[in-house]
Structure 1
Amino acid sequence: MINNAEFSKRLQKVIDYYSESASSFAEKVGVQRSSISHILSGRNKPSLEFVLKVLDTFPEVELYWLMNGKGHFPKSISIPKIEKPPTPKKMNQDLFTNSENLDSEIPKNPELKNVEAFQNLNHNISKGKKIDRIVIFYSDGSFSNYEN
């Protein structure tokens, strides 16, 4: 159950955080000024519609914090930790630790057996530019690296 006095304090904190007056806050949220006044004084309980309008208008407000004081205000946004993928050099070392011959990784298509063939595939390459390196990534996570 919502404690009106505590909810009023949290709502006032939101209003103060955004440097709003009660009337400007009401206008932004889309409710009558008297509604804000009655909620702040403890006369009325906030409706679900009012709470949803506040959350929609001010995304930094956390629902559980506003309703029962649990959580944080302003909402702390946590960025998920992304594991750094291994560098191509490291991956290359891992793939060829058994001294495998790189030539065995060259595609079987005779048109793609060397870098010159790759260069001839794309006739739209600007004059004077030369392909320096080609890396092919396979669906199993491995790759082949071809350097000129």
Structure 2
Amino acid sequence: MKDRIKLIMEKENLTPAKFADKLQINRAIISHILNGRNNPSLDVVTKILSEMDYINSEWLINGTGNMYKEGYGGNSVFPEPDLFNQDATNRARAVEAIEKSKEKGFKQPDYNAQLTENKMIIPSKNNDRKITQIIIYYDDNTFEIFGPHLK
């Protein structure tokens, strides 16, 4: 089952930490499962199947059948937010997710769709400013911090 959980995380583009957060379980639990220290508990399996209702339970538990339930295309139902490509499909999926959560009794904040405009931003010319820190983010979810206080 460990390999199937890894496959879910890979297909959903989730790090172990994001996966644990999505399931609302301790990150150490996922770490122990992935390292082979512990087998997934019934609680973990139940949370996977309730949070990701498009995962085929027969496949997750026994490894038989398809990973996704019939009629599911294979991409994450809740894709990671993309600041540069917010098409109508993503908005429709977000509305669908909100409707599903309302059915489950969760209170959702009021979101109003806003259109953005391309505007020219003119930086202010303040000569008193100095760079104090530079952060570089890498695609493997790591980062480095550079600054005069860090040597």
TM-score range (shorter-chain normalised) is 0.3 to 0.5
- The structure carrying a bigger helix percent of its residues is 1
Of structures 1 and 2, the larger Rg is shown by 1
Q: Which has the higher contact order (CA 8 A, sep 6+)?
A: 1
TM-score of the two chains, using structure 2 as the length reference: 0.46
